[in-house]
């Protein structure tokens, strides 16, 4: 199914496992595991997701942004940015 034909809830359900994967790899230095679900930077038909992010050692909230893309039937992370 293409991202542009999915509901917001369907897209968010795709992002949740990737978000957890990225968080765990940020703690453990494992570049290959961290990059496993990332794309080669294709953007047509992408979906952007923005959420409020916090970290246990930080004393403030951040804004996080993820761009999901579809490639060969798989949903991949193009990039994640935290502001």
The average confidence (pLDDT) of the chain is 80
Of 7-16, 24-33, 60-69, the one with minimum mean pLDDT is 24-33
Q: Tell me, what's the pLDDT at 61?
A: 92
72 to 2, 22, 75, 76: CA distances (angstroms)? 11, 21, 8, 10
With bands split at pLDDT 50, 70 and 90, how would you rate the model's confidence at 21?
A: low
Helix (H) or strand (E) holding 8: helix 8-27
Report pTM. 0.58
**Which tens digits make up the pLDDT trace of 26-57?**
566 776 776 777 767 777 778 899 999 988 88
Domain residue limits, the chain: 3-82
The answer for 58, left when phi > 0, alpha when psi is -120 to 50, beta otherwise, is beta
CA torsion sign for 6, 70, 36, 54 is negative
Phi then psi for residue 58, to 5 deg, are -100, 150
Of 29, 69, 80, nearest to 45 (Cα)?
69
Q: Tell me, what's the pLDDT at 73?
A: 86
């Amino acid at each position: 199914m293409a991202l542009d034909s999915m509901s917001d809830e369907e897209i968010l359900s795709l992002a949740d496992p990737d978000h957890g994967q990225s968080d765990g790899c940020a703690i453990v230095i494992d570049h290959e595991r961290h990059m496993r679900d990332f794309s080669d930077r294709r953007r047509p038909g992408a979906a952007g997701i923005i959420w409020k992010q916090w970290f246990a050692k930080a004393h403030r909230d951040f804004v996080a942004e993820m761009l999901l893309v579809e490639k060969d039937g798989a949903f991949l992370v193009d990039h994640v940015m935290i502001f």
